[in-house]
Amino acid sequence: MLKLSYNKLKEINRHTLQGLWSLARLHLDHNRLEFIHPDSFQGLTSLRLLQLEGNQLQQLHPATFTTFTLMGHFHVSTLKHLYLSDNGLTSLPSRLVATMPQLENLYLHGNPWTCDCNMRWFHDWDKTSPEDTSIAPIEGFAGNSVSLPCVASGSPDAEIIWILPNVTVHLGGKVDLECKVEGHPVPRVTWVLPNLVHMDAALGFPSQQRVVVMNNGTLRIGQASYTDRGIYKCIGSSAAGADTVSVRLYVSALPPVIQQTLHENTSLPEGGTAYIHCTATGAPQPVIRWITPDGIQLTASQLVTGQNLVVFPNGTLYIRGLGPRNAGRYECSASNTVFAPLPQSKKVLGWNMMVSCFVEFVGSSCA
């Protein structure tokens, strides 16, 4: 055993302990050590205990406590007991303890640890090494006050807590794929599209984009097409880690279905107005077309000035100033880019419109 406690040592260089091959216990506590050379303990293969409490160490090289090296690359320490309490350490390199297969006791209290990602490895290592742990009771301090800080924060890992299951959207429709992520720090949400494009929260004007990631992490797809089908992956990531989950999007089409019932005949007075309604559902949204008795095809917002006919955007056919020329069969059809109406299908709605003629003078007639 070599005891150099309570001195004014400031550093241990690579030659300070050279030749002490049989040294088993070394006490360097309560000095002013600021630096220990990574090769300081090379060759001290009998060293089992190292006491470094009460110094001014702020950082340690991963190979600091190596006592021998295999093939110049594999660093191994024979230490079983290591005391690093009451120094200025804020973090430890993970490889530092990886070199100590025989380590039984590690004392770290009294250091200004920074519990960030650089120390995440310690949380995992502490669960497996050492296998047996015990609590050291505070004894012999009756009447004194003691402060035992316990600081807890939210989950450091990025964790996806909820996402939609497999989703189906109608062709031409809009769908929101939600992905709620929790973690500390606040995770960043990235979506990977079926074409492997990566998308983050939009900058600028999301309403002007067909596919966009909202600020809350929701992926919004507008005017869905068949090319949007596939697997979408949501990635929640932060400095502490990442988590991923996938959702499959299906895009389906629906044939147009006219909502109104079929009317065989409709009688209206001459000079009046007619509103003939025709609305349809389907995916993509169907286009309404009207065919007049003389074969003219009308679509939404189209006006026939000679006959005072117009089709409103909602599919309603409007006729003003009814007269005999307006009598006949009117057909409404609904079609989209996937389904076209068939001649005798129920997607065609027909009216036979008869216009009544009111006679004011004897001898006049309406043909």
Domain ranges of the chain: 1-131, 159-252, 255-356
Q: pLDDT tens digits, the chain, 367 residues: what are they?
A: 898 988 989 999 988 998 898 999 999 999 999 989 988 998 899 999 999 999 999 888 888 899 988 766 678 889 999 999 889 888 888 788 888 888 888 888 888 888 777 777 777 777 666 554 455 555 555 555 655 555 545 555 555 555 556 788 888 888 998 888 777 778 888 898 988 888 887 554 555 688 998 888 889 999 888 889 888 988 888 777 777 788 888 888 777 777 777 666 777 787 888 888 888 887 777 888 888 888 888 887 777 666 678 888 888 888 888 777 778 888 888 887 666 654 333 333 454 555 443 333 223 333 3
Taking the C-alpha atoms of residue 356 and residue 145, their distance in angstroms, rounded to an integer, is 105
Fold type of domain 255-356? Immunoglobulin-like (2.60.40)
Answer yes or no: CATH 3.40.50.20 is held by domain 159-252: no
Assigned CATH for 1-131: 3.80.10.10
Taking the C-alpha atoms of residue 11 and residue 39, their distance in angstroms, rounded to an integer, is 13
Q: String of b and e for 324-347 (b: at least 16 CB within 10 Å)?
A: eebbeebbbbbbbebbebeeeeeb
Domains 1-131 and 255-356 share a fold: no
Contact 355, 273 (CB under 8 A): no
Whole-model pTM?
0.38
